[in-house]
Structure 1
Amino acid sequence: MNTGNLKYQFARLSIAEKLIAINVVIFIFNGLLTFLLQLSPNTLMQWFELPKDFFDFLVQPWSIITYSFFHAGLGHIFWNMIMLYFASRIFLNLFGPKRFINVYFLGVILGGLLFLLSYNIFPAFLGINTSLIGASAGVTAVLIFVCTYIPNQEVRIIFFNVKLWYIGVFFVLVDLIQIPTGGNAGGHLSHLGGALLGYVYARQLLKGKDIGEGFSKLVDSFANLFKKSKKAPLKTVYRKAKSTVNATVDHDKESRQRKIDAILDKISKSGYESLSKSEKDFLFKAGKE
């Protein structure tokens, strides 16, 4: 398979599938590098993992994001990516890739911050030398977001249907129980940080407020730094025609948004399965744009 075909296949993936692919490639690359060069498994990872010490964090502030791209083992990455795949399918049926990025990476950030604060405040964690890796906080943020936004939507688990809010409560309770009893307190704390972000984001969005707008603008500004500036071609402007077209476009956008809002309101009240096929198709197409 040539490079051009790989780029084409990658471009066809959803934003969640792209994240999964990146995580898997990094996991394989790190494993091969450490094996072939007979290096410590932490040789590369130490530059990207989130340290528990504030001063160490100040030396590598990028780790508040990059820690989420590294995993401790096959089981760790497998379950994270499986959960991300299924949670994202529900999410991306409702919203587009930008909002997905907001929820996922804000969950990663809040999960990392809760880990940092906990290991520098609570006596139970003082003196413990550890660091944080894994996509769990971002995955949990996406999962709890959909569980909060459409809590009564049922999903099939093996032989029976379960409402999403049951699943959300289950995962939060498991993390709370395992903080004092398990051997991965830092990981469970980061999950709770992601869960908190997902819950608050969904609740605020139901009230009409998108708390991720600022983060989205920041991401766009950062992305624009790497885009090549292109000179706009010369063109003739007809002012009257332009204003008429703009008015038509604005009206179409408002009409389309009203339809989206009505469908989302129907989902929150009656569940996704209550939608007609045409409504599902319309929402799917809107989420892709």
Structure 2
Amino acid sequence: MAIADEIKESFRQGGVVTRLIYVNIGVFLVFLILDAFFSLAQHAEWAYMIKSWFSVPADPGALLLKPWSIFTYMFLHFNFMHILFNMLYLFWFGRIFLQFFNPRQLLGVYFMGGLAGALLYILSYNIFPALNNFTESPIMMGASASVMGIIFSAASYSPNYKVHLVLLGPIKLMYLAIGLLILDLISIPSFSNTGGHLAHIGGALLGMFFASRAVKGKDITLRFNHFMDNLASLFSRKPKMRVTHSRTKRPVSDMDYNANKKKKQSNIDRILDKIKTSGYDSLTKQEKDDLFNASNN
């Protein structure tokens, strides 16, 4: 099997975290090739101009000219270290997130965290005097706000969940999340990446709000995911309707199907409650397998 075919198969078989990582890496490689090409052609500014059209601007007027950038910016990265740490965080904390929530919720939090980060970034640059005196419109890119949304969703929902860190040993997830947030807060006055740090805070706030509603049985990603589904359907080709006839009867009745589905969901709810009270390590092997299988459906 060719490498390209292996990548396609891995993308198709992989879960939502794997697919998000692949998309981010794919976009990074495309712009890396563009940077190399235009640099060789002695027009490096053209590569920056193209990238700027997919990066979210601080100027609302510029945003009106490229409204898609509030979505595309969260898949762009400045350099290798930028994407490396974002993808590592997405991989680590995305897997923890999926122990409590389903893949569609993770995808919703990824986008909503990115949108919250973009909103706080734009508002800050147009409200605070130290930031709004820019001579040319700043732009922002990166998945950091989206990843912070995922981190704080899991940390707020199960703050006592323990993460094992090298040299430090086990540490509660909430303490780790708060540590990341403090780093952003103390970095704001440096003005080296103020917009990015503000966006991180926006993503973290969205994550905490998502978790606060989830504890009460509410899912704020439902309407957003429905909106995204409708948006995606506008740009996808609808297959022609094909009517087929089969004499094969459905092996399971609707009543039995719904009963089995309800039974599986009750089991997952019980496992999640156990994690929340006793931690992931308290699960049996069968419970871990059930949770893993449910997160990949």
TM-score, normalising length: structure 2: 0.90
Residue 259 of structure 1 aligns with which residue? 267
Q: Given residue 231 of structure 1, which amino acid in structure 2 is its aligned partner?
A: M
Q: Deviation at 1:32?
A: 2.0
Q: How many residues align?
A: 286
Q: Deviation at 1:203?
A: 1.5
Match of residue 256, structure 2, among 233, 248, 256: 248
Q: Which residues of 2 match residues 202-221 of structure 1 at below 5 A?
A: 202-221=211-230
Match of residue 64, structure 2, among 58, 78, 83: 58
Q: Which residues of 2 match residues 161-176 of structure 1 at below 5 A?
A: 161-176=170-185
Q: 1:2 to 1:156 in 2, by over 3 A?
A: closer
User: 1:160-187: CA deviations, max 9, x gaps?
Assistant: 1111010111111111111123411100
RMSD value, Cα = 2.0
Q: 1:262 to 1:2 in 2, by over 3 A?
A: closer
1:23 to 2:24 alignment: yes
Q: Which residues of 2 match residues 51-90 of structure 1 at below 5 A?
A: 51-90=57-96
Aligned-pair identity in percent equals 38
Q: Secondary structure at the match of 2:50?
A: helix
- Maintained 8 Å contact 2:155/2:174: yes
Q: Which stretch of structure 1 is more off in the superposition, 16-25 or 99-108?
A: 16-25
Q: Secondary structure at the match of 1:94?
A: coil
Q: Runs of 5+ in structure 1 lacking a partner?
A: none
Q: Which residues of 2 match residues 174-213 of structure 1 at below 5 A?
A: 174-213=183-222
Q: 1:234 to 1:20 in 2, by over 3 A?
A: closer
Q: Given residue 83 of structure 1, which amino acid in structure 2 is its aligned partner?
A: Y
Supply the distance in 1 between the matched residues of 2:88 and 2:8 (Cα, whole angstroms).
23
- Maintained 8 Å contact 1:34/1:43: no
Supply the distance in 1 between the matched residues of 2:296 and 2:30 (Cα, whole angstroms).
31
Supply the distance in 2 between the matched residues of 1:117 and 1:189 (Cα, whole angstroms).
10
1:271 to 2:279 alignment: yes
Supply the distance in 1 between the matched residues of 2:119 and 2:125 (Cα, whole angstroms).
10
Q: Deviation at 1:46?
A: 1.1
Q: Secondary structure at the match of 2:163?
A: strand
Q: Runs of 5+ in structure 2 lacking a partner?
A: none
1:49 to 2:55 alignment: yes
Residue 12 of structure 1 aligns with which residue? 13
